[in-house]
């Protein structure tokens, strides 16, 4: 009901800096083409959320249990490892209304599920193919090069893991 | 030197909430900013007014007023001052006295500034009155009330009198009126601020107004009992009073003590005392007229339905008072400011939590004791130095909103996340306060409204899931000996189930002290429940396994049908009344088993067998009931999954809402004991919620402007039909539970010796009463909603006005409808 055009404190139901910058980059590259569209436009009626930083072991039921607190869920798409077809730590949650999606950003994004702080970002909508990890080894890119050990997301980054494995093999062979 | 000073000041101001200022207003990199523009400084000072306990707010107020009045010709500064002041009034109500203080000082330095603020505030107020946005009206009037010394004549009082006159009209017209009560509340919550203001000599007006509001405020509204946290039927002493009746007596007390208003800050006091030469006293400044406001007659209803509000404190009856008692006006004033802050700022729970933690900055110093003082330490504080515990006051306000009946303003999960955030910011301070709140609520489980005890349950499990599932379970260990249907036992089992749903059984088991782990049965730890047809002991086991294999192979319906027929054949030969029941059991149980891997697995199984399942509904109501039984039995150890599947089956219209109610409240009522199960209440509430939501959508379609025949009639027919269906649903609940509440349910009568005196009988009857209360309220709320909405709907038979004729006779009709 506010008259205000800007609020006196920030809003949590805005697209993330990641989404905005991703679109900015694209806009910059396509400079010569038609007038770039405002990234916010695509999200004006968005009902889908990208949810990240899930544990690989978090189930659909757990996600459902938490996210249905913001409204009835229309569709839930688990993010899968491109090769193994196992959960790889993200998902898309689609609601019936835009408002439910915004409320989810405000009330659920940044809280814990399965004892991990999860990330929620407004998404223009799920498309076939987006459920798969885009990392080299099939999972999410961020899980390739992680230096810390994260038991919920397959331990160390997979790229490092491979390297470690190789080193170990070579060392063994040399001996 | 001067350079240095300025920079220093800039630094001091910038230290706080830099993220906010930079994000909102100034994106230039730090290094390039070598002197902050003045308007940025004013903005920041205004936005962060009173936020720091380390600085005197009086200094900030003076500095803001000085800068703005000295730079009156700088349009940017002037505009920012006016706009941001009003924005803060509307979004951060706890800052109103400080903002008003800044405007008072600015006005005395430069009267034009005051006039500009007043005219903008007047415009906004008029708009909010016209649209019925009563909270915004309340906040703007509060702000204008503190500015009382700058007005000519009686200032704000004529407006308050006019609002009161409207309230009287509304109350006289209908005893059920709630809008009039809202207007009285606005008057009540304005008066203290007018009396707080530097204006003097208005005691008589205030008392006169107070005398008038008395009759309206003190007469209990018929709906108060319905929205009470505690059903007066269960516990008369715990039932709270309405906010306006409390406020009325608190105001009268305050008037008799010369409007002490201890908790409210008066930041202008020091300023007017000290700087007499530069500043004229607020009383002698240029007087201006109060902004011209027209209050329409009748006043409009806002977009939010109104209900009486009841005062709830989860810290009532402690050995030491940590929150103001209801006899103290501070309880109402602080609560009101906090509640508005909470509900207005739902879009940033982190900022809201920060305001709650910092709440002692916004009231008179020493209203609260030092933050994070442990409860036990309060005993050592001498009585005369004792004050309120800020954490308790903050948490109390959040719970009052989480437990608002009939509905909270925002989704309940907002209040969950707000409490989580408070706990994250100040764990050592907030966690013990939450602990005491939980104990109070747990001990009130028997008498609390059932809907609220379920909200408590849901919050409790969700909250723990954010903090490693740690809770001092040992303190309730003795209650594990209570019968399973005792409300406390029902809470414990319900909470553990919800924890498991958010996590997994093994994890939760690991968080529990003895003797709790036994509550997590081996069945709960299994990811895939047993398939009963795997055992030869189960009737039709061969066919059951066959069906399961076929479903797994995604066989066609034609391939499955012969096996189904075989079961029905056998059943018939054994004299089973409805052979479709065992065949449905085998089919649905197989579906559940094959789909047990995840929700999407079971959904795709259901999707493939949709036609068969849909047909069952029309062929045999008993088979349809069996669908529910099979799902609930298969997932008996993980009821969350079961009710989720039931929910989807409702969406597919494979089940009807009534069939779900029949299953729970008639088929499985088990002498009323089913009413003690939290997941059953959840399932029934969700089912009824689906129906009422749909009903509200139809009402919205029916009442949309610009709808004409023949669509009007078409939608109206749907509305009439579905409204009747909804009433049938509520009637069914009423009829099924009324007998449980009265102890005359058939199965209840058959239990034991039929005397109804078994120790558990009283508990069951209480469950019945509590269920009835919830669903009677839901029924009443929905009926009122529909009736109110339809009162303003386009009448049937209205045809679209022809374009050409618009200027002619049809215009009158269109106008009449638009009212």
Q: What is the pLDDT of residues B249-299, one digit of tens each?
A: 999 999 999 999 999 999 998 776 665 555 556 766 788 999 999 999 889
Nearest to A4 among B90, B135, B502 (CB): B90
Q: Do B349 and A106 touch (CB under 8 A)?
A: yes
Give me the pLDDT at residue B7, please. 40
Rg (CA), chain A: 19
A4 has pLDDT over 90: no
Q: Write the pLDDT tens digit of every residue in B128-187.
A: 999 999 999 999 999 999 999 999 999 999 999 999 999 999 999 988 899 999 999 999
Residue B818 lies in a domain: yes
3 state SS for chain A: CCCCCCCCCCCCCCCCHHHHHHHHHHHHHCCCCCCCCCHHHHCCCCCEEEEECCCCCCCHHHHHHHHHHHCCEEEEEEEECCCCCCEEEEEEEEECCHHHHHHHHHHCCCCEECCEECEEEEECCCCCCCCECCCCCCCCHHHCCCCCCEHHHCECCHHHHHHHHHHHHHHHHHC
CB contacts of B599 in chain A (<8 Å) are: 60-61, 64, 76
pTM: 0.91
Q: CB distance from B47 to chain A under 8 Å?
A: yes
Q: Do B680 and B788 belong to one domain?
A: yes
Last residue of some domain: B483, B506, B526? Answer: B526
Last residue of some domain: B526, B554, B572? Answer: B526
Residue B495 lies in a domain: yes
Q: Write the pLDDT tens digit of every residue in A44-83.
A: 899 999 999 999 999 999 999 999 999 999 999 999 999 9
Q: CB distance from B345 to chain A under 8 Å?
A: yes
CB contacts of A13 in chain B (<8 Å) are: 347
Q: Do B696 and B761 belong to one domain?
A: yes
Q: Do B646 and B712 belong to one domain?
A: no
Last residue of some domain: B479, B499, B526? Answer: B526
Total domain count for chain B? 3
Work out the minimum CA distance from B507 to partner chain A, whole angstroms.
10
Residue B376 lies in a domain: no
What's the farthest any 2 CA atoms get from each other in chain B? Answer: 107
Size of interface A-B (CB pairs under 8 A): 111
Residue B434 lies in a domain: no
Across the range B502-519, mean pLDDT stands at 96
Contact A111, A67 (CB under 8 A): no
Q: CB distance from B136 to chain A under 8 Å?
A: yes
Phi and psi of A162, rounded to 5°?
-65, -45
Q: Do B779 and B800 belong to one domain?
A: yes
A143 has pLDDT over 90: no
Q: Do B501 and A62 touch (CB under 8 A)?
A: yes
Q: Do B499 and B520 belong to one domain?
A: yes
Q: CB distance from A75 to chain B under 8 Å?
A: no
Contact A161, A155 (CB under 8 A): yes
Q: Do A66 and B502 touch (CB under 8 A)?
A: yes
Q: Do B644 and A61 touch (CB under 8 A)?
A: yes
Work out the minimum CA distance from A34 to partner chain B, whole angstroms.
28
Nearest to B347 among A13, A66, A112 (CB): A13
Nearest to B90 among A2, A66, A103 (CB): A2
B702 has pLDDT over 70: yes
Q: CB distance from A4 to chain B under 8 Å?
A: yes
Please enumerate in sequence order all residues whose Cβ is within 8 A of that of B494, keeping only pairs 6 or more positions apart, or say none: B457, B677, B678, B679
Q: Do B644 and A62 touch (CB under 8 A)?
A: no
Q: CB distance from B501 to chain A under 8 Å?
A: yes
Q: Write the pLDDT tens digit of every residue in B329-349.
A: 999 999 999 999 999 999 999
Give me the pLDDT at residue B88, please. 97
Across the range B34-42, mean pLDDT stands at 83
Chain B residue with CA closest to A2: the answer is B90
DSSP readout, B278-308?
A: TSPPGGGSPPBPPPP----SSPPP-SSPP--
Q: Do A69 and B462 touch (CB under 8 A)?
A: yes
Q: Distance between CA atoms of B13 and B637, rounded to whole angstroms?
A: 57
Q: Write the pLDDT tens digit of every residue in A17-53.
A: 787 777 665 555 554 445 555 666 788 899 999 999 9
Q: Do B630 and B673 belong to one domain?
A: no
Phi and psi of A133, rounded to 5°?
-65, 150
Q: What number of other Cβ atoms are within 10 A of residue B321's Cβ?
A: 17
* Residue numbers of the domain that contains B554: 536-636+638-663
B618 has pLDDT over 50: yes
Across the range B536-548, mean pLDDT stands at 94
Across the range A139-161, mean pLDDT stands at 85
Q: Do B680 and B819 belong to one domain?
A: yes
Residue B37 lies in a domain: no
Residue B647 lies in a domain: yes
Q: What number of other Cβ atoms are within 10 A of residue A173's Cβ?
A: 7
Q: CB distance from A114 to chain B under 8 Å?
A: yes
Q: CB distance from B696 to chain A under 8 Å?
A: no
Across the range A94-105, mean pLDDT stands at 96
CB contacts of B351 in chain A (<8 Å) are: 9-10
Give me the pLDDT at residue B175, please. 83
CA nearest to B787, candidates B743, B723, B714: B723
CB contacts of A111 in chain B (<8 Å) are: 417, 420, 466
Q: Do B680 and B806 belong to one domain?
A: yes
Q: Mutation test of the interface with chain A: which of B346, B347, B500, choosing the one with the most A Cβ atoms within 10 A?
A: B347
Which contacts qualify for B4-9: CB closer than 8 Å, 24 or more apart? B6/B35, B7/B35
Across the range B543-564, mean pLDDT stands at 95
Q: CB distance from A59 to chain B under 8 Å?
A: yes
Q: CB distance from B350 to chain A under 8 Å?
A: yes
Which is more confidently placed, B666 or A2?
B666
CA nearest to B738, candidates B780, B698, B775, B691: B775
Q: Do B124 and A66 touch (CB under 8 A)?
A: no
The pLDDT-based confidence of B36 (bands split at 50, 70, 90) is confident
The average confidence (pLDDT) of chain B is: 90
CB contacts of B24 in chain A (<8 Å) are: 6, 10
Q: Do B786 and B654 belong to one domain?
A: no
Give me the pLDDT at residue B34, please. 62
Q: Do A107 and B91 touch (CB under 8 A)?
A: no
Nearest to A64 among B303, B351, B599 (CB): B599
Look up the ipTM and state it: 0.90
A17-27+45-134 belongs to CATH 3.30.70.330:
yes
Q: Do B569 and B487 belong to one domain?
A: no
Q: Distance between CA atoms of A171 and A132, rounded to whole angstroms?
A: 35
Q: Distance between CA atoms of B542 and B530, rounded to whole angstroms?
A: 15
Across the range B345-373, mean pLDDT stands at 95
Q: CB distance from B78 to chain A under 8 Å?
A: no
Residue B763 token pair: 């508990």
Nearest to A10 among B23, B303, B414 (CB): B23
B811 has pLDDT over 80: no
- Domain extent listing, chain A: 17-27+45-134
Q: CB distance from B200 to chain A under 8 Å?
A: no
Chain A residue with CA closest to B501: the answer is A62
Sheet containing A48-52: give its strands across: A73-80, A87-95, A48-52, A119-123
Residue B113 lies in a domain: no
Q: Do A106 and B350 touch (CB under 8 A)?
A: no
CA nearest to A7, candidates B638, B345, B223: B345
Q: Do B506 and B551 belong to one domain?
A: no
Q: Do B580 and B502 belong to one domain?
A: no
Q: Which CATH number belongs to the domain containing residue B547 in this structure?
A: 1.25.40.180
């Amino acid at each position: 009901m506010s008259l205000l055009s800007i609020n006196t404190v920030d809003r949590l139901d805005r697209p993330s800096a990641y989404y905005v910058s991703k679109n900015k980059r694209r806009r910059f590259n396509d400079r010569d083409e038609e007038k770039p569209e405002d990234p916010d436009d695509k999200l004006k009626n968005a009902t889908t959320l990208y949810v990240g930083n899930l544990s690989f072991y978090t189930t659909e039921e757990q996600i459902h249990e938490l996210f249905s607190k913001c409204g009835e869920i229309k569709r839930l798409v688990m993010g899968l490892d491109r090769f193994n077809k196992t959960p790889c730590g993200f998902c898309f949650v689609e609601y019936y209304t835009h408002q439910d999606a915004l409320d989810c950003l405000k009330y659920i994004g940044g809280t814990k599920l399965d004892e991990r702080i999860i990330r929620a970002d407004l998404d223009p909508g799920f498309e076939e193919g987006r459920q798969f990890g885009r990392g080299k080894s099939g999972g999410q890119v961020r899980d390739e090069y992680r230096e810390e050990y994260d038991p919920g997301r397959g331990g160390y980054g997979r790229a490092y893991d491979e390297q470690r494995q190789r080193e170990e093999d070579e060392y063994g062979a040399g001996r | 030197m001067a350079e240095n000073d300025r920079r220093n000041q800039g630094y001091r101001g910038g230290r706080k909430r830099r993220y906010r200022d930079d994000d909102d207003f100034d994106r230039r990199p730090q290094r390039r900013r070598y002197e902050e523009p003045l308007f940025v400084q004013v903005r920041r000072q205004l936005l962060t007014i009173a936020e720091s306990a380390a600085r005197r707010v009086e200094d900030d107020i003076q500095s803001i007023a000085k800068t703005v009045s000295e730079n009156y010709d700088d349009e940017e500064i002037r505009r920012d001052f006016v706009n941001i002041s009003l924005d803060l009034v509307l979004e951060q109500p706890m800052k109103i006295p400080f903002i008003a203080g800044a405007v008072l000082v600015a006005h005395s330095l430069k009267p034009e500034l005051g006039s500009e603020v007043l005219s903008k505030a007047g415009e906004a107020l008029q708009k909010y009155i016209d649209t019925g946005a009563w909270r915004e009206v309340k906040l703007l009037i509060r702000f204008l009330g503190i500015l009382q010394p700058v007005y000519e004549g009686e200032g704000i009082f004529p407006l308050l009198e006019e609002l009161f006159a409207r309230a009287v009209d509304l109350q006289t017209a209908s005893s059920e009126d709630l809008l009039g009560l809202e207007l009285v509340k606005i008057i009540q919550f304005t008066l203290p601020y007018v009396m707080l203001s530097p204006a003097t000599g208005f005691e008589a007006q205030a008392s006169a107004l107070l005398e008038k509001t008395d009759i309206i405020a003190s007469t209990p509204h018929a709906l108060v009992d319905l929205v009470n946290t505690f059903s007066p039927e269960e516990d008369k002493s715990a039932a709270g009073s309405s906010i306006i009746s409390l406020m009325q007596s608190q105001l009268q007390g305050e008037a008799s003590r010369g409007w002490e208003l201890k908790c409210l800050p008066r930041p202008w006091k020091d300023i007017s005392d000290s700087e007499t030469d530069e500043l004229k006293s607020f009383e002698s400044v240029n007087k201006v007229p109060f902004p011209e406001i027209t209050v329409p007659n009748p006043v409009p209803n806002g977009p939010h339905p109104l209900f009486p509000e009841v005062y709830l404190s989860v810290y009532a009856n402690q050995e030491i008072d940590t929150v103001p008692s209801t006899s103290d006006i501070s309880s109402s004033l602080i609560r009101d400011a906090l509640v508005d802050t909470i509900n207005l700022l739902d879009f940033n729970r982190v900022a809201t939590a920060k305001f709650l933690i910092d709440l002692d900055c916004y009231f008179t110093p020493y209203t609260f004791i030092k933050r994070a003082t442990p409860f036990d330490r309060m005993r050592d504080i001498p009585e005369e130095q004792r004050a309120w515990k800020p954490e308790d006051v903050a948490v109390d306000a959040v719970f009052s909103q989480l437990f608002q009946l009939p509905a909270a303003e925002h989704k309940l999960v907002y209040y969950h996340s707000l409490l989580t955030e408070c706990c994250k910011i100040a764990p050592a301070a907030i966690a013990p306060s939450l602990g005491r709140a939980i104990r109070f609520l747990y001990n009130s489980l028997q008498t609390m409204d059932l809907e609220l005890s379920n909200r408590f349950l849901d919050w409790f499990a969700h909250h723990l899931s954010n903090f490693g599932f740690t809770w001092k379970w040992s303190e309730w260990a003795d209650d594990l000996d209570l019968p399973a249907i005792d409300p406390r036992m029902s809470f414990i089992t319900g909470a553990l189930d919800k924890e498991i749903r958010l996590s997994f059984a093994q994890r939760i088991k690991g968080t529990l002290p003895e003797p709790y782990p036994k509550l997590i049965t081996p069945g709960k730890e299994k990811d895939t429940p047993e398939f009963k047809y795997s055992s030869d002991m189960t009737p039709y086991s061969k066919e059951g396994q066959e069906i399961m294999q076929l479903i797994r192979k995604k066989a066609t319906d034609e391939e499955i049908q012969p096996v189904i027929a075989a079961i029905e054949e056998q059943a018939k030969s054994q004299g089973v009344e409805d052979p479709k029941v065992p065949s449905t059991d085998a089919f649905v149980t197989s579906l559940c088993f094959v789909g047990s891997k995840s929700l999407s697995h079971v959904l795709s199984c259901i999707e493939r067998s949709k036609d068969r399942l849909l047909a069952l509904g029309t062929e045999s109501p008993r088979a349809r009931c069996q669908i529910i039984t099979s799902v609930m039995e298969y997932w008996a150890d993980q009821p969350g999954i079961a009710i989720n599947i039931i929910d989807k089956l409702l969406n597919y219209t494979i089940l009807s809402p009534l069939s779900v109610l029949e299953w729970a409240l008639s088929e499985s009522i088990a002498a009323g004991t089913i009413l003690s199960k939290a997941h059953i209440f959840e399932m029934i509430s969700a089912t009824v919620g689906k129906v009422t939501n749909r009903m509200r959508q139809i009402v919205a379609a029916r009442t949309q402007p610009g709808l004409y025949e023949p669509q009007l009639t078409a939608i109206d027919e749907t509305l009439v039909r579905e409204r009747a269906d909804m009433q049938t649903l509520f009637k069914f609940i009423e009829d099924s539970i009324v007998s449980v509440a009265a102890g005359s349910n058939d199965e209840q009568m058959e239990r034991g010796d039929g005397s109804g005196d078994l120790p558990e009988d009283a508990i069951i009857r209480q469950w019945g009463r509590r269920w009835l209360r919830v669903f009677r309220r839901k029924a009443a709320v929905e009926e009122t909603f529909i009736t109110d909405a339809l009162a303003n709907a386009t009448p049937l038979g209205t045809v679209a006005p022809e374009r050409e004729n618009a200027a002619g006779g049809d215009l009158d009709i269109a106008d009449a409808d638009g009212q």
